[in-house]
Structure 1
Amino acid sequence: MENQDALLVLARARLPDALFRHLLAAHAEPAAALAAARHGAGLPLACREALARPCPRRLDADRAWLDKPGRRLLAWNSPDYPALLRRTPWPPALLFLHGDPSLLWHPQVALVGSRRPSPAGRQRAHDFAANLAGAGWAVTSGLAEGIDAAAHAGALAVGGRTLAVVGTGLDQAYPPGHAALMARIAAEGLVLGEHPPGTPAIASHFPSRNRVVAGLSLATVVLEAALRSGALISARLAAEAGREVFALPGSVDNPVARGCHRLIREGATLVESPDQVIEALEPLAASLADDLRSALGAADTAARDAPGQPAGRSAGGQPGDSANHKRLWSALGHDPTPLDELVRRTGLTVAELSSMLLVMELDGRVVADNGRFARHP
């Protein structure tokens, strides 16, 4: 509890992200990072006061929010922090989560675009998301009006995975009319953001939210965007992080297609269908799965290298023989089990379990349903 409280106090102090990350990296425990921050010089007065005299009422409210099921606070130096986001130039120091944290480690595609799309653009966003989610990808977007909402709805419509990155506290739906959609995503997918509960909609938070959308995803697809669209910020940030950027062309008479045309002129890949996105990203997804296998030892090396053996299985057709993999396999049954219960049964971290479960799902050994996992029947 001491370390969680320390993270909450640091979050409320609004430290510069680079300093916040440095403090977490330089100290073994968040409580030590907080003590160091309190003795630091050069911070703005408001930061120093928030660190020295945290508001008890706010701290109690933050604790109460986190104590409810499905909610979590994830620090930048945690092993569960998503690797793709960590590799960007600007990872948030903290993430507030509501929903299934394993989705942070699932291959994601960001679908972004105008808040006021054409009817055809809205339908394309829904259809793209449904096709991508149906093919096993997680669809990530920003819960905004227009393209974002259509993308989330499309993924949910086929029982797929979706993540909503918000620019407010996770107890604040923005726009307010998306409260039901936000609640459904929290129940069936994941809602996340870097701001403490109670944080209202502030204009400057939304461009910074876009860096999280882009940083979590292997690629960003811009479906419709005007020349001064926030979606173009997402595309630029994705390119800066070394990720793929795709754009759909539209009519030259459509003002919300001109941003896409500009991206294509500047080097974004022109796509006309979700299958083209899937085809382009399959090698990246395979590489990511291989990285996860290698990093976590989720598959026995000899079995992986044996001709004709699918990665992640032993020669006998069972999952790989590492100790952690065996522990997970023993913890799994034929009844769907939530990730938190698997953490308890195995003693492994969310990141380790998420990566191994992804490999096992790709290999057809595990089925996933709304954040619950079971052996394939």
Structure 2
Amino acid sequence: MSHHEEWNEEEFKAWLAFACVPGFGLRAVQRLAARDALSVQLRDIQKRGGGPGLNASQLAYLCTQAAKDVEACLRWREQSSQRAIITARCATYPPLLSEISAAPPVLFVEGDAGVLLQPQIAIVGSRNASSSGLEIAAQFGAQLAEQGLVVTSGLALGIDGYAHDGALNAGGDSVAVLGCGLEHIYPARHRRLAGRIAEQGALVSEFRPSARARAEHFPRRNRIISGLSLGVLVVEAAEKSGSLITARYASEQNRDVFVIPGSIHNAHSTGSNQLIRQGACLVQNVGQILDEVANLLDWSLKSQQTVQSELFSHPNQQEQLPFPELLANVGEEATPVDILASRTHIPVQDVMTQLLELELSGHVVAVSGGYIRKGRG
């Protein structure tokens, strides 16, 4: 992961080509990348018409269609400064998402890609929800946004749309993960909402921009909704619903699953209540969600306030934070030492020495997977 240096346009295009190969995930692309420069391998495959670890249809795709698709992706990106293509090699790829088992090798983003690095809570639920369910989705969306959290969902009709809308109306940021390319907003009824999200957050898809909505894409995009988030709130889910797929992904990914309980007489809540029986966290207000994710959020939400209050109350303490450059790169997500070294251009050995001092002085904490910033409140 820490070879950002050799990453040039040709290597980027090759990564994009392999990422577009049908049935190819991040791990497959990474395995190839570990072997040799992807651009070299791609040229070989196109010259010889063959290559290791690829089946006939994948090879055919790389030799015929891939170059056109890559060009189309780059043209899409060029059309607006608000568009980005983020590969799993970019420093801007969301670290929480990179932890999931089937992480997407590439993300197409319209809006502010930086929002993907902020703490998110997903809100999901039924497409044909009850009016009280819709009201709850909008209310929780707004309250989470007021607490500084990004509200993430799937732009579907029903609960998703109301959750996005609630967050936007409260002046917060929202992220919509689509089951199609960003040139085809689906459902069409949510075009205007999608436009607002692109202005106040980001639209995201793992599918290249020209890809049409297909039924099998939607269950897949659910793993990204939960993968980006600290936890998933299920507002209303019938017995067999997409939200249950998202909840299942969330628990496989070690994310919190929160559920609004429903009446036993309401078919809309059968799936929700079942999740609670299986151990999901029953919540009745936003405070209960915040309590559960508090330690993960501690640093990110408090840091702005504490830095300001410390500036005024303890001028001496604040004069010089130790190793400010390294500290600025440690956040509420566990960051491995080699990533910190590549971001700061400080040799690994020095990074480790500085981290040890920062740990002793209570600025950072070692956790599994790296280091996190400690809230100093």
- TM-score category of the 2 structures, normalised to the smaller one: 0.7 to 0.9
Matches of 2:52 and 2:300 in 1, distance apart? Answer: 41
Match of 1:65 in 2: 76
Provide the residue aligned with 1:7 in structure 2. 15
Q: Secondary structure at the match of 1:277?
A: helix
Does residue 1:19 correspond to 2:28, yes or no?
yes
Aligned equivalents of 1:171 and 1:24: distance in 2? 29
1:90 Cα offset (Å): 1.7
State the 1:37 CA deviation.
6.3
Is contact 1:12–1:50 with CA below 8 Å preserved after alignment? no
Find the counterpart in structure 2 of residue 373 from structure 1: none
Question: Aligned Cα RMSD in Å?
Answer: 3.3
Displacement of 1:57 after TM fit?
4.8
Cross-structure match for 1:114: 126
1:133 to 1:37, Cα distance in 2 relative to 1, 3 A = farther
What TM-score do you get using the length of structure 1 for normalisation? Answer: 0.76
Q: CA deviation at 1:15?
A: 4.1
Deviation at 1:104, TM superposition (A): 1.5
With over 3 angstroms needed to count, the CA separation of the structure-2 counterparts of 1:276 and 1:194, relative to structure 1, is: same
* 1:288-327 to 2 correspondences below 5 Å: 315-317=316-318, 320=321, 322=323, 324=325
Q: Go from structure 1 to structure 2 and tell me whether the alpha carbon gap of 1:172 and 1:319 turns closer, same or farther (over 3 Å shift).
A: farther
Q: Is 2:191 the partner of 1:183?
A: no
* Residue pairs, 1:141-160, within 5 angstroms: 141-160=153-172
Residue type matched to 1:116 in 2? N
Identity across matched positions, percent:
35
Query: Which amino acid in structure 2 is aligned with residue 40 of structure 1?
Result: G
Letter in 1 for 2:18: L
* Alignment-derived partner of residue 242 in structure 1: 254
Q: Structure 1 106/25 Cα, relative in aligned 2: closer, same or farther at 3 Å?
A: farther
Asked if the contact 2:164/2:174 (under 8 Å) is kept, the reply is yes
Residue 75 and residue 60 in structure 1: after superposition, are their counterparts in 2 closer, same or farther (change >3 A)?
closer
Deviations 1:269-326 (A, max 9, x none): 1111112111221122126789xx9xxxxxxxxx99xxx969xx98453684535379
2:143 equivalent in structure 1: 131
More divergent stretch after superposition (166-175 vs 35-44): 35-44
| Equivalence for 1:229 | 241
**Cα displacement (A) at 1:363:** 8.8
Shift of 1:8: 3.2
Choose 194-203 or 17-26, whichever is displaced more. Answer: 17-26
Q: What runs of 5+ residues in structure 1 fail to find an aligned partner?
A: 294-302, 329-346, 350-358, 365-377
SS in 1 for 2:318: coil
- Whole-angstrom distance in 1 between the partners of 2:317 and 2:300: 25
In structure 1, what is the equivalent of residue 180 of structure 2?
168
Which residue pairs with 1:91 in the alignment?
A: 103
Does structure 2 conserve the Cα–Cα contact (< 8 Å) formed by 1:25 and 1:77?
no
| Higher mean C-alpha deviation, range 215-224 or range 4-13 | 4-13
State the TM-score, normalizing by the size of structure 2. 0.76
Q: Is the 8 A contact 1:215 1:241 kept in 2?
A: yes
Distance 1:214 1:319 in 2: 38
Q: 1:53 deviation in Å?
A: 2.2
Q: Which moved more, 1:243-252 or 1:274-283?
A: 274-283
Structure 2 Cα separation of the partners of residues 199 and 120 of structure 1: 35
Per mean C-alpha deviation after superposition, the further-off stretch among 48-57 and 245-254 is 48-57
Gap change, CA 1:55 and 1:243, over 3 Å in 2: closer
Q: Look up the equivalent residue of 2:10 and give its one-letter code.
A: E
In the alignment, what sits opposite 1:48?
59
Q: 1:20 to 1:57 in 2, by over 3 A?
A: closer
Change (3 A) 1:327 1:54: same
Aligned residue for 1:253? 265
2:282 matched to which residue of 1? 270
Task: Please say which of residues 31-40 and 262-271 is displaced more in the overlay.
Answer: 31-40
The answer for unaligned runs of 5 or more in structure 2 is 1-8, 330-342, 346-371
Cα 1:122–1:21 shift into 2, 3 Å: farther
Cα displacement (A) at 1:237: 0.6
